[in-house]
Every structure is written in C-alpha cells, then in structure tokens.
C-alpha cells in the first residue's frame, strides 16, 4: 500500500474529518443541503462542455455533457458514457467526480452527467425517472450514428444505476421500449458500489474497524431517506435484493473495490452472485479510483480502458 493511501487513511480517521462517521452527521447534512459543484474552470480548457436541462414529472434537472477538445469538430459522433455520481444520495457532484469525468472524456468518449435530485428533497423513484429520460436521449443519439452506450458510477451512484437498470428490466410496468433502451447499455463500471441500503451484506460489520471513512449506521440514515417511497429493500434502492435470474440479465459489469471500505462486502457479494470481474485492492479506501494515489491512478486507468474497449 502506498504512502499516500496510508496518509489519507490516517487523515480520514481524525475526529471530524468524515461526514459519514456517524448517523448524526448525516442527519445534519440533510438539514443543510448544498448544490453540486459546478464544472471546474480548468475542465473547459480540455473539454467542450454543454449544459442542458431535462424535465420529468418531478421537476427540471441539469445535465452536463463533456467531449474532449481536439482538432475534430465538436459534433463528431462518439460513444456515450452516462456517469452517475456518488455522495450517499445526499451530496452532489464534487471536484473528484468532475476529474474522473474529464479523464473518461479524454479517452475519446462523450460523457453525460445527470445532476439528479438528492435526499431529503428527492428520492430514488425521481432519480430513476430522470435516468429514463437521459437514457432515452442517449439511445436516440447513439442509434442515429451506430454508437455504443456505457455506464459508470461510484458509491451510491452505483447503487442507483444498478438498481435502476434491474428495476426497469424486472418490473411488470416496464414497457418494451424502456427495457430495450436499458439493453442498449453494453457495459457497466461500478466503483466502490453501495448495493444494499440496509448495509446488511455478509461481512459488512467485519470491515467497520478498518474503514476510516464510512459507518454503516450513517449510511442507513441516508438509505432510509432515499428509499422512503420505493422501499429501502426494493431492487431500485438495494439492487442486491434482486433474484439471481434478474441479476443474470445485466450486461457486462466490472467492479473496483478496496478492502478498507465497508461497502467492499457489497462488491464481494455481487461478484459471488454474478461472477462479474472485480478488481480488489488490499488496503484501499472507499472510492479509491477517484483518489490521486498510485492505486487510484492505476485503477482509474483500468476503468477508462474497460469503458473504451
């Protein structure tokens, strides 16, 4: 394990450093919601950025699209990658998310970033409807130019993304066109995924002492708020409650997980149930591919290569 990762772990363990160390912290956070960070100025120097809105029954939401700034025309067709950010369903996009988005775009991909509504003002069903609309636009664009569609998500965003896909593939009310659009997603990259909002995956409690950032009690508070309409144990909110048959309907999935992360238990259970490849880095923290450490940079390169292949 690199010195940088060890130092980050030590800093994260200091009192007051982690929002997700207690349930009280998360309740306080939900009482003071903040907007997502804007696209950093420096990203405009290497990307063409387009900001748009999508309106659903739940309101109007911002989406951002990034393509690499090259000598090619801005409207050159590129494979599309939808990115669903983490933040425990209560925090918005941050600088680490934007840096990942820019790196993915730099590999020659159009990255679409929906800024979905978060708890306590919104919940999972509203975010799923937004993803329906975002995917519908992406499929129309991809079909017109014979492009691929990929999906990448981290932490809670990974739970939202996978739960949304499984919910749409498995519920009786899904139309054939909705299911067909989900099946246009040909591969999914999940980074430190939170796949059980109840934090009951086998082995979760065994990881608590080693994780300086996340506490299951804190996560459960956010999970309850996020699942207040759909149900915290629904497939949409906790995708690991899906049947093996439904999980088998997913496209190619690859996960990245560190062993100093309580959510490693979720990634391990998904791998056991589906056989999906999982890159496990011993001693790595939650969301380590988003961190500027040797382990993070190596994993980020793997994520980008997987999405681009």
How confident is the model at residue 14, as a pLDDT? 85
Tell whether the model's pLDDT for residue 104 goes beyond 90.
yes
Helices 95-106, 294-308: crossing angle, 10 deg rounding: 50
pTM beyond 0.95: the answer is: yes
Tell whether the model's pLDDT for residue 254 goes beyond 90.
yes
Out of 119-133, 173-187, 279-293, pick the least confident: 173-187
- Average of pLDDT values for 242-247? 98
Average pLDDT score over the chain: 96
Please, which pLDDT band fits residue 238 given cuts at 50, 70 and 90?
A: very high
Tell whether the model's pLDDT for residue 172 goes beyond 80.
no
How confident is the model at residue 188, as a pLDDT? 99
**Pick from 251, 245, 37, 269: nearest CA to 280:** 269
Tell whether the model's pLDDT for residue 71 goes beyond 90.
no
Superfamily assignment of 3-308 in CATH?
Alpha/Beta hydrolase fold, catalytic domain (3.40.50.1820)
Out of 72-76, 165-169, 277-281, pick the least confident: 72-76
* pLDDT tens readout for residues 185-202: 999 999 999 999 999 999
Out of 12-21, 176-185, 244-253, 281-290, pick the least confident: 12-21
How confident is the model at residue 173, as a pLDDT? 78
Question: Tokens standing for 17?
Answer: 């450093």
Alpha-carbon distance 19 to 304, whole Å? 29
Q: What pairing do the DSSP bridges indicate for beta strands 110-114 and 80-84?
A: parallel
Alpha-carbon distance 112 to 125, whole Å? 20
More confidently predicted of 309 and 113: 113
């Amino acid at each position: 394990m690199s010195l940088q990762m060890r130092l980050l772990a030590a800093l994260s363990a200091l009192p007051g450093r982690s929002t997700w160390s207690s349930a009280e912290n998360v309740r306080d956070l939900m009482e003071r919601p903040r907007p997502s960070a804007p696209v950093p100025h420096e990203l405009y120097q290497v990307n063409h950025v387009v900001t748009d809105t999508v309106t659903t029954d739940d309101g109007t939401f911002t989406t951002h699209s990034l393509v690499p700034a090259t000598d090619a025309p801005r409207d050159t067709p590129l494979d599309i990658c939808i990115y669903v950010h983490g933040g425990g369903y209560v925090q918005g996009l941050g600088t680490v998310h934007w840096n990942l988005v820019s790196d993915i775009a730099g590999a020659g991909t159009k990255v679409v970033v929906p800024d979905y509504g978060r708890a306590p003002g919104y919940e999972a069903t509203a975010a799923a409807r937004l993803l329906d609309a975002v995917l519908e636009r992406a499929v129309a664009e991809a079909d017109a130019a014979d492009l691929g569609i990929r999906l990448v998500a981290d932490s809670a965003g990974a739970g939202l993304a996978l739960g949304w896909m499984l919910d749409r593939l498995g519920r009786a009310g899904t139309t054939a066109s909705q299911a067909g659009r989900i099946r246009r997603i040909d591969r999914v990259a999940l980074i430190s995924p939170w796949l059980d909002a109840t934090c009951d995956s086998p082995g979760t409690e065994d990881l608590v002492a080693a994780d300086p950032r996340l506490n299951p009690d804190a996560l459960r508070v956010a999970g309850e708020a996020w699942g207040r309409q759909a149900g915290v144990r629904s497939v949409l909110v906790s995708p690991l409650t899906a049947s093996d048959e439904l999980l088998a309907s997913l496209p190619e999935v690859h996960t990245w997980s560190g062993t100093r992360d309580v959510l490693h238990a979720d990634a391990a259970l998904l791998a056991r149930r589906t056989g999906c490849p999982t890159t496990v880095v011993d001693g790595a923290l939650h969301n380590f591919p988003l961190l500027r450490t040797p382990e993070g940079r190596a994993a980020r390169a793997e994520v980008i290569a997987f999405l681009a292949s």
